[in-house]
Structures are given as C-alpha cells and as structure tokens.
C-alpha cells in the first residue's frame, strides 16, 4: 500500500536527504489534502440522491430484470457502490461508479429464477472530489474500482438509499 506523505517525509528527513524546497512541497501537499478532506465533509452533510423505483414486488420464480434510476441532485459529482447481500440470486450492473452533477445513471438489477424471497440493496454514496486522487504526484491513472475503494476507505459514513425487493402476499409474509 502507498505510504502517506507524512510517513514518506519523515523517512526522508531521518535520512537527511530532503531539501528545504522538497520539505515545503510535502507540507503544502499535506495542507492541500486536509483542506480537500474538509471540503468532502461539508459536501457529505448536504449530499442528496434518490433511486426510482425503490420498491419492486416479486410475485413469481421467473427471472426478472429491472432498471433503476439513480439521480444525483447535487451540484457536484458523487461516487457510489451497491451493496448486494445475495450475489448468487442477483446480478447488478454497474456495482459502482461516478455520477456527474445533476445527472442520472441507469442501474440494472436482474433477479435470477429462484424461489422468491424479500431482499434489499443499499446504494452508498460520497461526494467525488477529483483533486483527492491527484494529491500524490505519482498518481497518473486510477481504475474506477480503485477510486471507489479508495474513497470509501477514508472512513466517512456514506449517505445510503435502499432498493427493496418484496414478496407479494401469495408467497408469504411481506418483509420476510
């Protein structure tokens, strides 16, 4: 895993191989990262997105495919991931991604032909701030999966919207 800027600068300082110019560059990068994380926190507080439809009724054992619209209501892009509890029953595409400001993404969920049961998906979202990826000068290109993993590893609590697949009464109690 990549070393943090502070760890890297500490090692270089300990070896006596860092110049004053490089030292100020590292300090500047640390300040930029702190400011950008502060911006992320402010955006999380006001983050809004919704999913339509957010409820699907299951009334048979046949395979069904539904398209859900995830709408980003913010003036900034969001990064999202879909949490699936039963990967052997459902296929989700895409499972993660970035949605531009005021844009909508189509999420396709296919329920395989299995015995009916109720299930729920959580769609987690955080503000996407491109500058956080470019703070480390060695970062040139980052795969989408790595961006998602990195943003959700910051430790911030994401905003969550759910999609429910519920049984109709003829197959059992709702919500079981």
Confidence of residue 161 (pLDDT cuts 50, 70, 90): very high
Q: Pick the more confident residue, 82 or 34.
A: 82
- Domain ranges in the chain are 47-171
Reply yes or no on whether the pLDDT at 27 is more than 70: no
d(CA 104, CA 81): 15
Q: Which residues contact 28 (CB under 8 A, 6 or more apart)?
A: none
Mean pLDDT throughout 158-173?
Answer: 81
**What is the rounded average pLDDT of the residues 39-54?**
88
Name residues whose C-beta falls within 8 Å of residue 38's C-beta, 6 or more positions apart in sequence. Answer: none
Q: Has residue 166 got a pLDDT over 80? A: yes
DSSP symbol at 113: S
DSSP per-residue letters across 28-71:
HHHHHHHHHHHHHHHHHHH--EEEES-EEEE-SSS-EEEEEEEE
Over residues 125-145, the pLDDT tens digits come to 999 988 777 655 565 677 888
More confident residue, 10 or 46: 46
Report the CATH number of the 47-171 domain.
2.60.40.10
């Amino acid at each position: 895993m990549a070393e943090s800027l502070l760890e890297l600068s500490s090692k270089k300082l300990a070896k006596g191989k860092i110049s004053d110019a490089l030292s100020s560059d590292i300090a500047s990068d640390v300040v930029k990262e702190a400011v950008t994380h502060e911006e992320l926190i402010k955006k999380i507080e006001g983050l809004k997105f919704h999913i339509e439809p957010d409820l699907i009724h299951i009334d048979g054992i046949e395979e069904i495919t539904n398209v859900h619209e995830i709408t980003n209501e913010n003036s900034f892009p969001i990064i999202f991931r879909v949490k699936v509890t039963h990967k052997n029953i459902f296929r989700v595409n895409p499972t993660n991604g970035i949605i531009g400001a005021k844009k909508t993404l189509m999420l396709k969920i296919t329920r395989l032909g299995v015995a009916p049961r109720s299930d729920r998906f959580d769609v987690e979202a955080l503000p996407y701030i491109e500058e956080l990826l470019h703070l480390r000068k060695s970062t040139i290109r980052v795969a989408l999966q790595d961006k998602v993993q990195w943003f959700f590893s910051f430790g911030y609590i994401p905003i969550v919207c759910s999609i429910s697949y519920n049984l109709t009464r003829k197959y059992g109690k709702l919500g079981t």
